[in-house]
Amino acid sequence: MKAITRTEFDFPGQSTRYIGKVRDVYFIGNDYLVMIATDRISAFDVVLPKGIPFKGQVLNQIASKFLDDTKDIVPNWKIASPDPVVTIGHKCASFPVEMIVRAYLTGSSWRSYKAGAREICGVSIPDGMKEHQKFEKPILTPTTKAEQGEHDMDISREEIISKGIVSEAEYKKLEEYSLALFERGSQIAAKRGLILVDTKYEFGKKGDKIYLIDEIHTPDSSRYFYAESYPILFKQGLPQRQLSKEFVREWLMENGFKGKEGEKIPEITPTVVNSISERYIELFEKITGTKFEKSSYDNDIYERIDTNVRNMLARL
C-alpha cells in the first residue's frame, strides 16, 4: 500500500521548507506555514524506513479536532485544514522546550524509575510506586526541543528559568496552559472510555502573543489507556491496553532496537506496517467517536494537496 513519505511542493509565497521527523513544513512569507503530516514514523528519535498508510491523515485530523476543542483555553496556530493531511496556520517563534504532562508512572518515566531514579526533571517521585500507577496529581516534566537527528533532553523548571531559555513569567503561562489543556484532554478521553496518560505540548509566540503550536493529543504525542480495563490490569500487574505509539517502541525493543548507535532497525514487513496503520485508525475512531474515512492514495494525491493548499492560501 502506498504511503506519503516525502513531499516536494512550491507554494505561492513560499520562502523556505523544513523537513521534520514526520512533518514537512512550508513557510509562506513571515506570517504563515503549511504543515503536511506525512506517513513517516519515528521512534527513539529515529525515522523508520517505511511509511505507515493513513498515519498522517490520522494525526492531522485528530490534532485539528483538538485544536478546535481547546481554543478557548489558549490561542492556537491553526487557521484551516484544507486537506486531510494538511493544516495551514500562523508562523510562530517556538519556545525551545516541550511541555510534557504525566498523570501516570509509565513508559520512559517508569524505565527511569525502575533504574533507580526518584526525580524526573526536578520533580520528586515517591518510593514504592508501581508501573502504570497514577500520580497524586499530574506532573510537568519538560524536555529541551532537539534539532533534527538529536535527542530531546530532560530539563528542570529551575534550569529553564535560570538559563534564560524561557522567562519565568512566560514559563508560568506555559505551565498553566499545559495543565489546563491536559485537564480538557482528560475529560474528552473519559467520555470515550479512555484515560489520557501523558502527552506533550509545544508553544510559540507571534508578536507578544503565546500560541499552542504543532499537534495535540495524537497517538504520536500522547498515550491513552482503556479506562475499563485499567484497574483490573493494574491490580494484577499486567501490561495495560493502550492506544499510543508505545506499541511501536515495544516492538522495536523486542527486536533488539532502542535507537542506540550500532543497532540495526528490524525488518518492517507489510504485516507490521498494516498492523501499525490499523492501530492508528483504531485510536482515531476511539478518541473522536467517528468513523475514519480513508483519503485516496491514487496517483493524483500530490496534485490534490497542491490544489487544496493553493486555494486556501489565496483566501488568506
Write the pLDDT tens digit of every residue in 203-215: 999 999 999 999 9
Q: Which of 60, 45, 13, 6 is nearest to 32 (CA)?
A: 13
**Residue 45: predicted pLDDT:** 82
pLDDT-based confidence at 80, cuts 50/70/90?
A: very high
User: What pTM did the predictor assign?
Assistant: 0.89
The model's pLDDT over 149-193, given as tens digits with 9 standing for 90+, comes to 455 788 999 999 999 999 999 999 999 999 999 999 999 999 999
**Residue 146: predicted pLDDT:** 63
Three-class DSSP category at 195? strand
Long-range contacts of 298-302 (CB under 8 A, 24+ apart): 301/2, 301/4, 302/7, 302/9
**Residue 245: predicted pLDDT:** 81
The beta strand positions in 84-193, using DSSP E, are 86-90, 93-94, 97-105, 119-120, 123-124, 133-140, 143-144
Q: Which grid cell sits at 161?
A: 528559568
Kindly tell me if the per-residue pLDDT of 135 is higher than 60: yes
pLDDT-based confidence at 299, cuts 50/70/90?
A: confident
Domain 95-244 has CATH 3.30.470.20: yes
Q: How many whole angstroms separate alpha carbon 122 and alpha carbon 296? A: 47
